[in-house]
Structure 1
Amino acid sequence: MSKSLFERLGGRNGISIIVDDTVENHMNNTNVNARFLPLKEKPEQLAIIKNHTIDFFQAGSGGPNNYKGKDMVTAHTGMNINPTEYMHVMDDIFMALDKNDIDEETKKDVLAILWELKEMIIAK
């Protein structure tokens, strides 16, 4: 029997590291960092966002479902994220996956999830 995506990402600990690396990438990405840099001044809010992201990805990848955050449309309504920004965010995620030596098949599975979420996030 093959491992779940959750297991291939390293479980909650692995997902947490990937989320931390992704947020750091966002902070350094001039194409999207205006959305993320203000969170440096709000560490409690940043921690909440990171934890929701970890819980969301954990639940969506076959791990325990602890996600109690907003659905994707509600969470992104009013942000007016454009397709270019979404692609930059995806690039940042894949940089984090590469940094954490995630294999190609697992990255394809992550890509499929991100592609499914796209319409729930862009231009909301």
Structure 2
Amino acid sequence: MERTLFERLGGSDGISTIVNTAVNNHMENPAVNARFLPLKEHPEKLRIVKEHSVEFFSAGSGGNVAYTGMDMETAHKGMNISPGEYYHVLDDIMRALDQLSIDETTQKDVLAVLWSLKGMIVAK
């Protein structure tokens, strides 16, 4: 029996580690860090962003987790996220997966999920 993507990512704990690593990568990436560094000054907002990210990826990858955040279009409305910024964020997430030694097949599955969200996040 094949394990779910949620299980292959290490469950909620593994996804939490991935989210923390990816957010750190975003904060170090000059192409997108202007969107993320201000969160350091608002730790409660940063906590909520991370919490919703963990919930979203947990629920979307087959975990028995309820997502309590906004839908992707509402959450990113008015942010005017460019395709280039989206690609940088994807690269940061993929780098986090690599840093955490997530296998290639699982990385490809995560990339497919992230790619499917592009139209809901990038400004139209």
Please give the TM-score of this superposition, normalised by the length of structure 2: 0.98
Greater Cα offset, 64-73 or 20-29: 64-73
Amino acid in structure 1 at the alignment position of 2:115: W
Matching of residue 34 in structure 1 with residue 34 in structure 2: yes
Q: For residues 48 and 34 of structure 1, what CA distance do their matches in structure 2 show? A: 18
Amino acid in structure 2 at the alignment position of 1:52: H
Q: For residues 9 and 110 of structure 2, what CA distance do their matches in structure 1 show? A: 10
Residue 109 of structure 2 aligns with which residue? 109
Q: CA deviation at 1:64?
A: 1.3
RMSD: 0.7
Count of residues in correspondence between the two structures: 124
Once the two structures are superposed, residues 40-86 of structure 1 have per-residue CA deviations (whole angstroms, 9 ceiling, x without a partner) of: 00000000000000000000000013101000000000000000000
Please give the TM-score of this superposition, normalised by the length of structure 1: 0.98
Once the two structures are superposed, residues 11-59 of structure 1 have per-residue CA deviations (whole angstroms, 9 ceiling, x without a partner) of: 0000000000000000000000000000000000000000000000000
Which blocks of at least 5 consecutive residues in structure 2 are unaligned?
Answer: none
Matching of residue 76 in structure 1 with residue 76 in structure 2: yes
Q: How many percent of aligned residue pairs carry the same amino acid?
A: 65
